[in-house]
Amino acid sequence: MIGFPVRHEMSGSCITIGTPVKNTVTGQSGTTTQISQPLQIKNMGYHGIYLPEANLLLDGSGVDAPTFITHAHADHVPRNRHQPVFASPATAALMRARGHSGPIKEIPFGETTSLPGSGTRESGDKRSGDNKSGHVRVTLFPAGHILGSAMVFVETDQGSLLYTGDCRVPPSPASEGFQLPDAQVDYLIIEATFALPIYKWQPHETLFDQIRDFATDSLSDGDTPILLCYNLGKAQEVMHALASCDPPVSVQIHGGGEKLCRVYEDFGVDLGRWEPYNRETLPGKVLIAPSSTLESPMIRDLRTRRIAYVSGWASLEVRASQLLADALIPLSDHLDFFELLDVCRTLKPRHTWLTHSPDPTVALHYLHQEGFSCSSLETERADDG
């Protein structure tokens, strides 16, 4: 915020932010905090954030450090499938379903973990808000992006940091919800995939009605409705929407999503009537598949079909011609521009980094106008919004 003495030093891809030893920092509320040494944040390139002082890795690979994974999308899990990690129970199950064979320490939401060698507290303590000298304490909070998605709250001697990973508020109805820490967040690393004012999402139920109407109208006309969306997260959210169709509809899911759907059901998410894709039994049912299958026989050989593209990127009308889609349904599992600003206003961090943004300049402008200290942190993403 205005008046906070922020110091940035770039050494390769390592950012140092904070104040010198024993410097007193005055926040917007008038409270003071002693920061013993600068907090360092290292961008790991393709993906991942490393905190050298805490020896903590977030959504990354290639560093011998305790690694916390926010969710099971490919651009957030380690490339090394044998790497030991910490994750929420649902993320652990989804990672295993996608082939991760390394040990996964499951951390329930709201339960604080003290890292090995960081102090005397043991894993399993509930958050108490204090942080004895030398302790690195980590707590997961539900992020609302997909099932199991978590924000990672880190408390260190250099201050507290919230890393959102991918997040959504209001949360996906097929997730555990969304919850921010009730403690001071000094530093915020937040995703900004849709950080332009053109992105303002409609309510979930409005978009769910569009999905249900598209499916039932297509079936009534004798066409096979095809909903193009990512196999993990969006596919299950669409299935959850279709589960309340009246009359009921049956769904077939692309083979890459079958194991993931079973995990969702294991965690209590209603996916309705569904089965794996079978060309012979597809007529009269809804097909859910990723956009990468458009040129495959699965879709190409269907003579009577209607295609809807379901993604935040469906806000862009050009996607209709690119994907030969009959309908665009802008259901996103990410924050829109206005929700991003609201999260920053709620937390009032001393410094904010925006990640995963095609163009962070507009959001940074608005945040600067409101007095926030903020900058961008370049990362790459792989899921489709």
Q: pLDDT, tens digit, for every residue of 315-342?
A: 998 888 888 899 999 999 999 999 999 9
pLDDT, tens digit, 9 for 90 and up, residues 181-233 = 999 999 999 999 999 999 999 999 999 999 999 999 999 999 999 999 999 99
Pair 330, 202: CB distance under 8 Å: yes
Q: How confident is the model at residue 174 (pLDDT cuts 50, 70, 90)?
A: very high
Residue of 7, 12, 13 whose CA lies nearest to 42? 13
Q: What is the pTM of this model?
A: 0.86
∠ CA 12-5-354, rounded to 5°: 55
Q: Which two tokens stand for residue 309?
A: 């593209």
Which positions ≥6 away from 331 have C-beta within 8 Å?
204, 207, 208, 211, 229, 234, 237, 238, 310, 311, 312, 314
Q: How confident is the model at residue 11 (pLDDT cuts 50, 70, 90)?
A: very low
Q: What is the pLDDT of residue 208?
A: 98
Q: Which residues pair with 151 in a beta bridge?
A: 141
How far is 329 from 213, CA to CA, in rounded Å? 11
Strand 305-310 to 224-228 pairing: parallel
The residue with greater pLDDT, 89 or 116, is 89
How far is 233 from 172, CA to CA, in rounded Å? 9
Ordered structural domains, the chain, with CATH: 9-198+334-376 (3.60.15.10), 204-329 (3.40.50)
Residue of 23, 57, 28, 27 whose CA lies nearest to 40? 57
Residue of 174, 176, 93 whose CA lies nearest to 140? 176
**Would you say residue 78 has pLDDT above 50?**
yes
